[in-house]
Amino acid sequence: MRSIRVLRWHNRNLRRRAAAVSAPVLLAAGLAACSSASAGNAVTLNYWSFPDNSGAVQQAVNECSAASGGRYTIVYNKLPTDADGQRQQLVRRLAAHDGSLDILGLDVTWEAETAQAGWILPWTGADKAAAEQDTLPTMLQTATWHGQLYAVPYNTNTQLLWYRSDLVPNPPATWDQMISDAEQLARQGKPHYIEIQGAQYEGITVWFNSLVASAGGSVLNASSTAPSLGAPGMKALQIMSTLAHSPAADPSLSVQQEDQNRLAMEGGTAAFEMNYPFVYPSMQTDNPQLFKHFKWALYPRVYPNVPSHVTIGGIDLAVSSYSAHPDLARQAILCLRDRPHQILAAVKGGLPPTLMSLYNDPSFIKAYPFAAAIKTALLSASVRPKTPYYQNVSIVISHAVSPSASINPGSTLGQITGGINNALADKGLVP
Amino acid sequence: MTTVAAPQAPAELSREERRRLSEATRAERRFGWLLCAPAVIVMAAVAFYPIVYAVYLSLQRYDLRFPQQTHFVGLSNYGVVLSSSIWWRAFAVTVIIMVVSVAIELVLGMALAMLLYYTPLWRGLVRTSILLPYGIVTVAAAYSWQFAWTPGVGYLAGLLPAGSAPLTSQWQAIGIIILAEIWKTTPFMTLLLLAGLTLVPDDLLKAAKVDGATTWQRFTQIMVPLMKPAILVALLFRMLDAFRIFDNIFILTKGNNGTGSVSILGYDNLFTALNLGIGSAISVLILIAVAIIAFIFIKGFGTAAPGTALERR
């Protein structure tokens, strides 16, 4: 997914630890192998997922293949870098009942459509229990469709509010407060921009979804059959429009994605930034001077008394319905996302883990100083609309709210509602 | 193209002789068909079958994810597309790109053809350098344009005021797409026009010169009328190509911010929305639009159909 950034954090302690933990796993899996597999030829399991250049995924694949005791060998096939390209490749293969897919790395927004289409297998019994053990409930929600678990959370991500403590000693708790802080900085002639994703793409759908959820609403109703929105939707549009017309808005708001936000903050023109944790190590290397004042807080609230619900992202692992070895694929998935391999992915690959206990692990906190804030944000995170027509719904939203300066809350809300109704009925064209 | 013309049977031949001759002709004709049969079969497999299948799909309500819900809906997909403002916006963008890029290519191509034809020095070098862009894979060229216009890394974006991201604004991005098209396909236009230029007899130009015609008069009164068939063929080819523009847009903007052509719209509906019915209807409409353009050129302007270009002059 677009919003997951691959970071490379090097922490020797953690890596050593990862190696130490994987030894007993290796042993246990080796023992299990004796009972089931017919000795000899290992089954090849094809794992299709986002391209990880850190080597963490490949290392996990090698270790899990070795740990299977000759029952299976996992082959890591890299999908394209962009989310749309990944989805297109998976969908085309699945629609053709391609048997060369076993394990799929799905973005959190694809589970509903792949499950509804019957392309991925549900998880039940002991495998399901193992998958749910210690896993973030919000991530499990993304992997659940019609009450059944269809995938297992692998990594996750979410946004925090990053701010400059030399400009604002206390982080704002709400959007109103943040905008007025920024306006005051502007009057003093200080750096004051609020950095957020405003370009016409998935990122602005995430912003809108976070605001609607934080205002106590949701984009779709509970059964995903109709748009919900209502007053919270209106409030979200008002905030977006207010920001776009205030001096706090970056002049290039309508073309900004995560990386432009990062660059603006590092360049010193901004005071606030809503972004993923990849900005932290980046600031450390790119602008050590500003890094001293680079602090984080929870995503701003919409109402002072209602906690914010920032949108969750990440990758879930699923088993293809056309896999010849679904049971082995499930075991391989449980290995690929077990504790040692999640530490490996977090430290080497830079993607936050989905096992809750890892966030209290001292060595993990050392690598992620903001681990506690991320965990709080993840526990109360919101999920993007769960529907097989998510792509269409997201396009409707991003086209309606970008550029944010042209939002007219009343009519834009009507436009989104009508567009979503069409999308859910699978009617009309996709722009 | 391969049918064998029956030789005119002279009147004084007897009936018997004529019968034998026509038998030979028939055998020859059969042989001709046999010879071109493999080509016809391949054409049917790679061209006719997909077109017929696309037309068939366009009459269905067909979502790639839910094939079991597929059913026949008649022409309603066409109704949905043609009544959608999204289609007409993409259509307008496509027509603008087609008209502007082909017009500029024609002028530039003509100038370059003249240069190639009359250049006294290093003719080979000049021809090679002009043809170079046409030899580069479009996608590779489009990527280099994309990098060039990306703020922070691109040398062209660096020339613009700070903070501008031209690929994210509709008209600037369309301008860049047109520029990339012109850069890429002007050599093709030049080649076709150069072929037409060689058809203009030198004597005629010399005679006109002797009669006192200025350079401009010789160009407009003699060259252009004589080159008309070549110009029309060049325009037809380029307009058909330009109407189906996809690769440059796909790399440069992905069709975002109102820069999508009809082909991009078809692709998005087929492969992002997975709506085979609507997507196929869009493809068929593009085919019809292309056929209309070709029809106007061939019937309206008397353009020689491809393959007969030189005979008809």
Q: Report how far residue B218's alpha carbon sits from residue B201's, in angstroms, rounded to the nearest whole number.
A: 12
Token pair of A297 as six digits: 């807080």
From chain A, pick out residues whose CB is under 8 angstroms from the CB of B84.
428-429
From chain A, pick out residues whose CB is under 8 angstroms from the CB of B273.
391-392, 429-430
| CB-CB under 8 Å, B273 with A199 | no
Give yes or no for a contact between A159 and A299, defined as CB atoms under 8 angstroms apart: yes
Q: What pLDDT shows up at residue A5? A: 39
Considering CB atoms only, which of B65, B86, B169 is closest to A113? B65
Q: What pLDDT shows up at residue B14? A: 75
Q: CA nearest B201: which of B230, B223, B229?
A: B223
From chain B, pick out residues whose CB is under 8 angstroms from the CB of A393.
none
Prior bond of A191 cis (ω within 30°): no
Residue A53 has pLDDT above 90, yes or no: no
Q: What is the pLDDT along chain B (313 residues), one digit of tens a residue?
A: 444 444 454 556 677 777 777 888 888 889 999 999 999 999 888 989 999 999 999 999 998 888 888 899 889 999 999 998 889 999 999 999 999 999 999 999 999 898 888 877 777 787 788 888 888 999 999 999 988 887 767 788 878 876 677 877 788 899 999 999 999 999 999 989 988 888 888 898 899 989 988 989 988 888 888 898 899 999 999 999 999 999 999 998 888 888 899 999 999 999 888 889 999 999 999 999 999 999 998 887 776 655 554 444 4
| CB-CB under 8 Å, A251 with B273 | no
The minimum CA-CA distance between B162 and chain A, rounded to whole Å, is 10
User: Mutate which of B143, B257, B264, B280 to test chain A, going by most A C-beta atoms within 10 A?
Assistant: B257
Written as one string, the DSSP assignment of B36-105 is: HHHHHHHHIIIIIHHHHHHHHHHTEE-BTT-GGG-EE-TTHHHHHHHT-HHHHHHHHHHHHHHHHHHHHH
CA closest to B265 among chain A residues: A431
Element containing residue A365 per DSSP (H, E): helix A362-367
The minimum CA-CA distance between A245 and chain B, rounded to whole Å, is 18
| CB-CB under 8 Å, A254 with B65 | no
| CB-CB under 8 Å, B278 with A429 | yes
Q: Report how far residue A299's alpha carbon sits from residue A159's, in angstroms, rounded to the nearest whole number.
A: 7
SS3 content of chain B, % helix, strand, coil (to 5): 70, 0, 25
Burial of B243 (0-12, 13-18, 19+ CB in 10 A): buried
| CB-CB under 8 Å, B269 with A429 | yes
| CB-CB under 8 Å, B152 with A263 | yes
Read off the pLDDT of residues A373-406 as tens digits, 9 standing for 90 and up: 999 999 999 999 999 999 989 999 998 998 898 8
Confidence of residue A83 (pLDDT cuts 50, 70, 90): confident
Considering CB atoms only, which of A87, A116, A199 is closest to B168? A199
Q: Report how far residue A13's alpha carbon sits from residue A23's, in angstroms, rounded to the nearest whole number.
A: 16
Give yes or no for a contact between A128 and A111, defined as CB atoms under 8 angstroms apart: no
Could you state, in order of their start, the residue ranges of all structural domains in chain A? 12-157+313-379, 160-310+389-424
**Residue B11 three-state SS:** coil
From chain B, pick out residues whose CB is under 8 angstroms from the CB of A391.
272-273
- Show the 3-state SS of A366-422: HHCCCHHHHHHHHHCCECCCCCCCHHHHHHHHHHHHCCHHHCCHHHHHHHHHHHHHH
Q: Report how far residue A67's alpha carbon sits from residue A52's, in angstroms, rounded to the nearest whole number.
A: 21
From chain B, pick out residues whose CB is under 8 angstroms from the CB of A254.
168
| CB-CB under 8 Å, A95 with B80 | no
CA closest to B80 among chain A residues: A428
Residues of A with CB under 8 A from a CB of B: 84, 87-88, 91-92, 95, 113, 116-117, 119, 199-201, 251-252, 254-255, 263, 388, 391-392, 426-431
Q: Report how far residue B174's alpha carbon sits from residue A135's, in angstroms, rounded to the nearest whole number.
A: 47
Beta-bridged to residue B61, according to DSSP, are B71
On the question of a common fold for A12-157+313-379 and A160-310+389-424, the answer reads: yes
Q: Which domains does chain B have, with CATH numbers?
A: 85-300 (1.10.3720.10)
User: Mutate which of B69, B274, B278 to test chain A, going by most A C-beta atoms within 10 A?
Assistant: B274
Token pair of B15 as six digits: 């009936």
| CB-CB under 8 Å, B169 with A429 | no
From chain B, pick out residues whose CB is under 8 angstroms from the CB of A119.
65
| CB-CB under 8 Å, B256 with A200 | yes
Side-chain half-sphere exposure of A117, counting CA atoms within 13 A: 28
Q: Report how far residue B3's alpha carbon sits from residue B28's, in angstroms, rounded to the nearest whole number.
A: 9
Q: What pLDDT shows up at residue B81? A: 92
The minimum CA-CA distance between B270 and chain A, rounded to whole Å, is 10
Element containing residue B206 per DSSP (H, E): helix B202-210
Neighbours of B46 (CB within 10 A): 9
User: What is the separation of C-alpha B121 from the centre of its chain, rounded to a whole number of angstroms?
Assistant: 32
Q: What pLDDT shows up at residue A26? A: 42
Q: CA nearest B258: which of B180, B161, B169?
A: B169
Q: Which conformational region is residue A128 in: left (phi greater than 0), alpha (psi within -120 to 50 degrees), or beta? A: alpha
Type of residue found at A394 = S
Read off the pLDDT of residues A292-344 as tens digits, 9 standing for 90 and up: 999 999 999 999 999 999 999 999 999 999 999 999 999 999 999 999 999 88
Read off the pLDDT of residues A4-42 as tens digits, 9 standing for 90 and up: 433 333 333 333 344 444 444 444 444 444 434 444 578
Q: Tell me the count of A-B CB pairs closer than 8 A.
A: 61
Considering CB atoms only, which of B64, B257, B272 is closest to A430? B272
**Residue B230 three-state SS:** helix
Residue A188 has pLDDT above 70, yes or no: yes
Q: What pLDDT shows up at residue B151? A: 73
Considering CB atoms only, which of A92, A251, A428 is closest to B80? A428
Q: Report how far residue B190's alpha carbon sits from residue B178's, in angstroms, rounded to the nearest whole number.
A: 17
From chain A, pick out residues whose CB is under 8 angstroms from the CB of B80.
427-429
Query: Under CATH, what is the fold of the domain A12-157+313-379?
Result: D-Maltodextrin-Binding Protein; domain 2 (3.40.190)
Query: Under CATH, what is the fold of the domain A160-310+389-424?
Result: D-Maltodextrin-Binding Protein; domain 2 (3.40.190)
From chain B, pick out residues whose CB is under 8 angstroms from the CB of A92.
271
Q: Whole-angstrom distance between the N-terminal and C-terminal Cα of chain A?
A: 21
Q: Report how far residue A391's alpha carbon sits from residue B28's, in angstroms, rounded to the nearest whole number.
A: 59
Cut 0.90: pTM above it: no
Give yes or no for a contact between B252 and B146, defined as CB atoms under 8 angstroms apart: yes
From chain B, pick out residues whose CB is under 8 angstroms from the CB of A117.
65-66
Token pair of B58 as six digits: 């366009």
**What are the phi and psi torsion angles at A47 (to 5°)?**
-110, 115
| CB-CB under 8 Å, A392 with B273 | yes
Type of residue found at A85 = G
Q: Report how far residue B152's alpha carbon sits from residue B146's, in angstroms, rounded to the nearest whole number.
A: 12
Q: CA nearest A291: which of A429, A196, A162?
A: A162
| CB-CB under 8 Å, A431 with B86 | yes
| CB-CB under 8 Å, B163 with A84 | no
**Residue A15 three-state SS:** helix
Q: What pLDDT shows up at residue B311? A: 45
